[in-house]
């Protein structure tokens, strides 16, 4: 067996599918309240800020749990770690629906779901390296990321409709039951590894988590990648959070803001499939990272300055397509250049950068909006400058020796 002709198993797609199912439900439960804030405030009899805290709890919990989750993935395998995350998602997701309009208990349940998130998301590249040959790993990471975006998209689009039909309490019960079923499917079908590894690099000895962290922070390419993720994920989190507030001062309706946000995610779903597959096909990572950051910069510029609906929606689509497709390619590139650091550690560290910047950017955009009109042009320009910095950082990356030589 050689790395160019690995022995692979069709069952890898089943393992990836049940992982995607768990990941999608976790993100669905995260974003549940975003499109129905007004309904949720009445249901729980709390302020908009209190509802916002239900979503922000995911970012806060990630800062605390990310490193322990990566350690569990790297020492006990992705199956056990994802099972922990899936169980937390399903059990607390169902509990969230059972507590009714009791906001403190709903917040506690939401935090329980949030704690489960890093155990799931940080395992993405570990699933790919355990089951997929090198030339398919960016594609596998892209499909795993697609599940994240699909969960968010379904949450944004479907939740308002379901809430109107059956009410918030029943909506939460349905989502929680679905998450629990996804966890059970993962228990039944997920396996840690195939009978034989998909490539020679899979059997290499890996560094311990502590040693791995020391190694990656000494690698210039990985440090540049951390900077790119700090900027890119922070911008995604802040723009999606404030999309209505970004557009309303320019005269755009809330409905159009919802369409723009949905289009951004939908385009990201497409991008997460197309660009990683092309990256695998031509055995290159860096050109696609540069392309993704450059395209996302153009899309952000359009959202910052667009005054017409057509240009706005086009810009939202461009931003989503390129920004969200850069994630799975970046995760796989990071896993390759970080060796012998384990995949759970390399992916978890990149995601941690995005959570830190997400909180900072969300708060910063709110603090520096125009005090009279509410316009967010100034903070958006600042984000645009950061995207240019990210693009410059991307041009200084060196190709992964593992895949491109």
Digit-by-digit pLDDT tens for the chain (405 residues) are 444 456 889 999 999 999 999 999 999 999 898 888 778 989 999 987 788 889 889 988 999 999 999 999 989 999 999 999 999 999 999 999 999 999 999 999 999 999 999 999 999 999 998 999 988 999 999 899 899 989 988 888 889 889 999 999 999 999 999 999 999 999 999 999 999 888 765 545 555 667 777 888 889 999 999 999 999 999 998 888 788 788 888 888 877 887 888 899 999 989 988 999 999 999 999 999 999 999 999 999 999 999 899 999 999 999 999 999 898 999 999 989 988 888 888 888 999 998 889 888 988 888 888 888 888 899 999 999 999 999 999 999 999 888 765
> Could you say which of 3.30.70.330, 1.20.1250.20, 3.40.50.300, 3.40.50.970 is the CATH number of the domain covering 206-405?
1.20.1250.20
Which part of the chain has CATH 1.20.1250.20? 7-203, 206-405
Quote the pLDDT of residue 371: 87
CA angle 81, 154, 72 (to 5 degrees): 10
Query: Is CATH 1.10.3720.10 the classification given to domain 7-203?
Result: no
Burial code of 104-122, b = ≥16 C-beta within 10 A, e = fewer? eebbebbbbbbbbbbbbbb
Nearest to 247 by CA among 236, 238, 235, 256: 256
CA pair distance 281, 144, nearest whole angstrom: 18
Quote the pLDDT of residue 205: 52
């Amino acid at each position: 067996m050689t790395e160019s002709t690995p022995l692979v198993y069709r069952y890898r797609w089943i393992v990836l599918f049940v992982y995607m199912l768990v990941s999608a439900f976790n993100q669905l439960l995260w974003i549940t309240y975003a499109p129905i804030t007004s309904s949720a405030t009445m249901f729980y009899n709390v302020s908009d800020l209190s509802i916002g805290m239900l979503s922000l709890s995911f970012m806060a919990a990630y800062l605390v749990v990310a490193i322990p989750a990566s350690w569990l993935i790297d020492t006990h395998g992705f199956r056990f770690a994802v099972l922990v995350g899936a169980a937390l998602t399903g059990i607390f997701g169902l509990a969230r629906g059972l507590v009714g309009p009791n906001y403190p208990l709903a917040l506690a349940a939401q935090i329980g779901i949030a704690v489960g998130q890093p155990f799931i998301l940080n395992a993405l590249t570990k699933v790919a390296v355990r089951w997929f040959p090198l030339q398919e790993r960016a594609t596998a990471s892209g499909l795993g990321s697609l599940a994240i975006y699909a969960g968010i998209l379904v949450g944004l689009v479907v939740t308002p409709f379901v809430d109107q039909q059956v009410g918030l309490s029943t909506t939460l019960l349905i989502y929680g039951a679905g998450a629990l079923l996804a966890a059970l499917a993962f228990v039944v079908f997920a396996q840690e590894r195939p009978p034989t590894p998909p490539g020679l690099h899979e059997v290499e000895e890996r560094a311990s988590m502590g040693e791995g962290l020391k190694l990656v922070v000494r690698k210039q390419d990985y440090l540049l990648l951390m900077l790119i993720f700090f900027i890119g994920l922070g911008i995604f989190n802040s723009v999606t959070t404030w999309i209505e507030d970004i557009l309303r001062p320019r005269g755009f309706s809330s409905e159009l803001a919802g369409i723009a946000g949905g289009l951004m995610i939908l385009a990201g779903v497409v991008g997460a499939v197309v660009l990683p597959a092309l990256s695998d096909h031509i055995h290159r990572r860096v050109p696609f990272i540069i392309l993704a950051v450059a395209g996302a910069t153009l899309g952000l510029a359009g959202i910052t300055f667009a005054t017409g609906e057509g240009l706005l929606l086009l810009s939202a689509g461009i931003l989503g397509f390129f920004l969200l497709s850069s994630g799975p390619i970046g995760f796989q590139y990071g896993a390759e250049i970080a060796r012998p650091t384990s995949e759970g550690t390399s992916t978890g560290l990149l995601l941690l950068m995005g959570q830190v910047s997400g909180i900072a950017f969300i708060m910063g955009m709110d603090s520096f909006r125009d005090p009279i009109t509410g316009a967010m042009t100034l903070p958006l320009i600042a984000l645009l400058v950061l995207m240019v910095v990210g693009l410059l950082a991307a041009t200084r990356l060196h190709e992964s020796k593992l895949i491109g030589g």
